[in-house]
Amino acid sequence: MFSFCADPDALGTFRWFSCYLTNGVHMSFYLSFVKVLVLLAVTAPVALSFGFAGAMAARSHVFPVSWLGKGYIAIVRGVPDIAFFLFFVIALDQGFEWMRHQILCPDWDAPIRQGNDFLVCSNAKLPLGSAPQWVHQTYSFFLAVITFSIVFGAFAANVLYGGMRAVPHAQLETAEAYGMSRRQTFWRVLVPQMWVYALPGLSNLWLVLIKATPLLFLLGIEDIVYWARELGGTKTSRFTDYPHPDWRMWYFLFLLVFYLGFTRVSEIVLEKLMVRLSHGQATTGGEALRKQVTA
């Protein structure tokens, strides 16, 4: 990166570190932080919409639909989330390939599961065997996003379902008295009001989602955990210009600090958001705000 980095052996401590921390592999390490942020930015809205759909389904008056919604909420509860992560990554991949196989190769007659193998025709492979490296990486990242969304969608559905039930019933009766249909009541009265009840749960969920991002490592993504392990390991002068002993502890300490900072910032922002949403609401938070103004 810097011009003086040509011969690392001759450098002082400070300059050595400035060269070491800006070399090529470290750039990949920093890029993996971006991956985490992208994952969060994509997963959060998708999971929220999954959750909204789940909560709507659970409220439905049609029994199969409400069972589906309640089942979706319930199933993710009793089972560890990493089990779901490990399961969905393979299951989704095989599901996609199976569907493509049915469409693209209708005259294939060999069974797909042969003993310990899962074989689809080469056209149905995802991504195609000939695809460049970045397509493979994007595809596995895409699978990870869907997996995260399904699991956290169930949590969000639980929170939103609770929020919908917390809206005072009188509000809904009033809407009915005004002659609104069920659909109108839902969209015009229930949905605008439920957010303030759901927000504590949702902000908790956001913090949980942040803390779940290192699990990307288990899904085979080259994320921050992968690079911290990789870069921290002992390096001898035979393989690199920057030999160092086992520093993995320090790399993980850095990750720990990163997550602590991220959590703290999120907490502060969410607290502000809660204050804003509580304005004029008939909740204890809203009442406290009113008193502040009048006092």
- Nearest CB to other proteins, comparing residues 124 and 225: 225
Rounded distance between C-alpha atoms, residue 93 and residue 144, angstroms: 10
Strands (E), 44-183: 113-114, 117-118
Block residue for tokens 């086992």: 246
110 φ/ψ angles, rounded to the nearest 5 degrees: -70, 145
- Smallest distance, other proteins to C-beta of residue 256, A: 5
- Nearest CB to other proteins, comparing residues 37 and 90: 90
Q: Element (H or E) spanning 87, and its range?
A: helix 81-104
Rounded distance between C-alpha atoms, residue 234 and residue 231, angstroms: 8
- Smallest distance, other proteins to C-beta of residue 112, A: 11
- Nearest CB to other proteins, comparing residues 68 and 180: 68
- Smallest distance, other proteins to C-beta of residue 138, A: 22
- Smallest distance, other proteins to C-beta of residue 204, A: 7
Cis (ω within 30 of 0) for the bond into 127? yes
- Nearest CB to other proteins, comparing residues 73 and 189: 73
Residue 138 C-alpha from the chain's centroid: 15
Are 85 and 219 in contact by the 8 Å Cβ rule? The answer is yes
Rounded distance between C-alpha atoms, residue 156 and residue 69, angstroms: 12
- Nearest CB to other proteins, comparing residues 1 and 91: 91
- Smallest distance, other proteins to C-beta of residue 70, A: 13
Of 143, 97, 142, 89, nearest to 123 by C-alpha is 97
Rounded distance between C-alpha atoms, residue 205 and residue 154, angstroms: 11
- Smallest distance, other proteins to C-beta of residue 221, A: 14
| DSSP conformation class of 244 | B
Chain residues in the site for other proteins (CB under 8 A): 77-83, 86-87, 90-91, 94, 113, 115-118, 155, 158, 162, 201, 204-205, 208, 210-215, 217-218, 225, 228-229, 232, 246, 248-249, 252-253, 255-256, 259-260, 263-264
- Nearest CB to other proteins, comparing residues 8 and 285: 285
